[in-house]
A and B are shown apart, each in its own frame.
Chain A
Amino acid sequence: MLKAKVILVALGAALAVPAAMAGSTPEEDRKEAVEYFKQMFPDVPYEEYVNGQYALDEDRRSQWESLQDFPPYEFAVAEGKEMFETPFANGKTYASCFENDGIGVRQNYPYFDEKNNEVITLELAINRCREANGEQPLKYKKGNIASISAYMASTSQGKKFNIKVQDSAEAQAAYQAGKEFYYSRRGQLNFSCASCHVQNPGNWIRADLLSPALGQPSNFPVHRSKWGELGTLHRRFAGCNRNVRAEPLPAQSTEYRNLEFFLTYMSNGLPVVGPSTRP
């Protein structure tokens, strides 16, 4: 009898372990997502996902390509470069706060800071740099911070995202929280991020053509025609939440940083193409 019980327990454990582990690591999630989109859009090359809706619709793409002759974010990037290089009151610059003096590092953001157990986005790092040097933090959704972030992204163009989720329980929890946020339905319209960008990319929602989840962070900050200016990824998160009648969270809140952590990890291997333009 005891022997039978032992066999049953061992059998149960053997069956339960693979089920619990299926798709449970970030890398397994990412690979599964890549495969999912490959099946959904067999004719779209993987690298094209950084172009969002323009990878899916030829008319939109040709309009977008003609806009690239004189991209509307150019002045903002030039201003961002000037701000990035202008010394703070203490004589230091942003370069003093970043690896490789802040040039060509966008692809490593966001990262999980194991010392303070939090996700650090590029915009957060920019403001922390300011505060460490006695300057006032900038507002997070647009304006100067978007310009500085756009300049830094421009120095990383073509470099592939390389986000790491460490094995620590805290880093894994931040990734999982971001994933849960992405797939949770919110707002009176009962939509999740995934409702549009995993289940319905390529479909229209009113006048908007929905982009796939892969590659979305690659082109931020973006100049949106709707905004008439550059905006950060967290500004877009807030707009998406508002669209489904969910109260947006503050830019750089823990929830949005975790969401960016998850979403950018999904784009690992895709290049930085920001700043870019979107409708």
Chain B
Amino acid sequence: MSRSTVTFGMVIALSIPLFAQAGPKDDFEKAYSQAERTHQEAGTFQWTTTSDRLKAAQEAAGAGDYDAAARLARDALELAQQSVAQQQDQKEAWRITAIGD
């Protein structure tokens, strides 16, 4: 076996764990940035539960647990989307119960 083949094989072998870890981290970063952006879109209709999930996701990522961080970020995204839907709905729906409208 040539020396270059051995070197190539070692590089590949060492890279496998790196590739394996890049998945959850990428998932987390993508979900987190989308959740954060959506949370901001909610304006004055932001939910505390979204903020809590975002903070927990950051903490999990800080501890290196990207699987948990990605899961929390996806939870945050779902909540943020619901808060945006509430904001959109309330643009007109508030009138339904208003006295004097």
**Do A246 and B45 touch (CB < 8 A)?**
yes
Main secondary structure of the interface of B (DSSP, over half): helix
Bits for B77-98, please: 1 = Cβ < 8 Å to A, else 0. Answer: 0010011001000100111011
**Do B86 and A242 touch (CB < 8 A)?**
no
Inter-chain contacts of B44 with A (CB < 8 A): 181, 186, 249, 255
- Least distance between B39 CB and chain A CB atoms (Å): 9
Q: Which residue of A lies closest to B51 (CB)?
A: A247
Interface size on A, residues (CB 8 A): 28
**Do A24 and B99 touch (CB < 8 A)?**
no
Interface size on B, residues (CB 8 A): 20
Inter-chain contacts of B49 with A (CB < 8 A): 188, 245
Partner-B contacts on A (CB < 8 A): 23-24, 28-29, 32-33, 36, 179-181, 183-188, 190, 192, 194-195, 198-199, 242, 245-247, 249, 255
Partner-A contacts on B (CB < 8 A): 44-49, 51, 79, 82-83, 86, 90, 93-95, 97-101
Show 27 residue pairs from A and B whose CB-CB distance is below 8 angstroms, ordered by the A residue: A23-B100, A24-B100, A24-B101, A28-B100, A29-B99, A32-B100, A33-B100, A179-B100, A183-B94, A183-B95, A183-B97, A184-B45, A184-B94, A186-B44, A186-B45, A186-B86, A187-B48, A188-B49, A188-B79, A188-B82, A192-B97, A246-B45, A246-B46, A246-B47, A246-B48, A247-B46, A247-B51
